[in-house]
Amino acid sequence: MYNNAGLNKALELTKSGRLQEALAALKGHGGAAAGTMLPGHATGSYIPEIGRRYIPPSVLEIIDVWGPGGGAAPVRAQPPAEPPAAAGPAMALGGAVRHLAHATAAGSRAYDLYIPTGYTGDPVPLVLMLHGGTQTAADFAVGTRMNQLAEEHTCLVAYPEQSRAVSRGGYWGWYKPGDQVRGAGEPSIIAGITTEIMRNHAIDPTRVYVAGLSAGGAMAAVMAATYPDLYAAVGVHSGLAYGSARDLGSALATMKNGGSPRPAGGVPLIVFHGDSDTVVAPVNAEKIVASRLQTAAVRGAALSGPTTTHGGAGGRRYTRNVYLGADHRAIIEQWTIHGGGHAWSGGSALGTYTDPDGPDASAEMLRFFLSHRTASSARRVQAQAARG
- Write the pLDDT tens digit of every residue in 264-292: 778 999 999 999 999 999 999 999 999 99
Query: What is the number of alpha carbons within 13 Å of residue 364 lying toward its C-beta?
Result: 24
Residues that are catalytic: 214
* Tally of domains within the chain: 2
Q: Report the C-alpha gap between 142 and 347 in whole angstroms.
A: 8
- Residue at 81 is within a domain: no
Which of 148, 132, 135 shows the shortest CA–CA distance to 89?
148
- pTM for the full predicted model: 0.76
Q: Is the domain of 36 the same as that of 181? A: no
Average pLDDT of span 120-130 = 97
- Which amino acid is present at 203? I
310 and 260 housed in the same domain: yes
Same domain, 340 and 256: yes
pLDDT band at residue 21 using 50, 70 and 90 as cut-offs: low
Shared domain for 27 and 158, answered yes or no, is no
- Tell whether 285 is covered by a domain: yes
Range of the domain at 56: 4-66
Looking at the fold, whether 120 and 48 belong to one and the same domain comes out as no
Give the range among 29-33, 101-105, 227-231, 382-386 with minimum mean pLDDT.
29-33
What is residue 263's predicted lDDT score, i.e. its pLDDT?
82
* DSSP codes of every residue in 309-348: EEEEETTEEEEEEEEE-TTS-EEEEEEEETT--SSEET--
CA distance 129 to 160: 7
Q: What is the pLDDT of residue 376?
A: 57
DSSP reduced 3-state for 333: strand
Of the candidates 378, 370, 388, 355, the one whose C-alpha atom is nearest the C-alpha of residue 143 is 355
User: pLDDT at position 305, please?
Assistant: 87
Rounded CA-CA distance 371/368 in Å is 5
Looking at the domain assignment, is residue 17 inside a domain?
yes
Tell me, yes or no, whether 294 and 188 share the same domain: yes
CB 351 within 8 A of CB 80: yes
Least trusted range by pLDDT, from 21-35, 98-112, 160-174, 218-232 = 21-35
Judgement on whether residues 376 and 341 belong to the same structural domain of the protein: yes
Please tell me whether residues 210 and 356 are part of one structural domain.
yes
- β-partners of residue 271 are 236, 334
Beta bridge partners of 340: none
Instruction: Say if residue 137's pLDDT is above 60.
Output: yes
Report d(CA 373, CA 119) in Å as an integer: 20
Question: 384 or 338: which carries more pLDDT confidence?
Answer: 338
CATH number of the domain that residue 289 is part of = 3.40.50.1820
Task: Identify whether 60 is part of a domain.
Answer: yes
Residues 144 and 230 in one domain: yes
- Examine the domain organization and report whether 38 and 122 are in the same domain: no
Look at residue 73 and tell me if it is in a domain. Answer: no
Residues pairing with 333 in the sheet = 270, 322
Answer yes or no: is 172 within a domain: yes
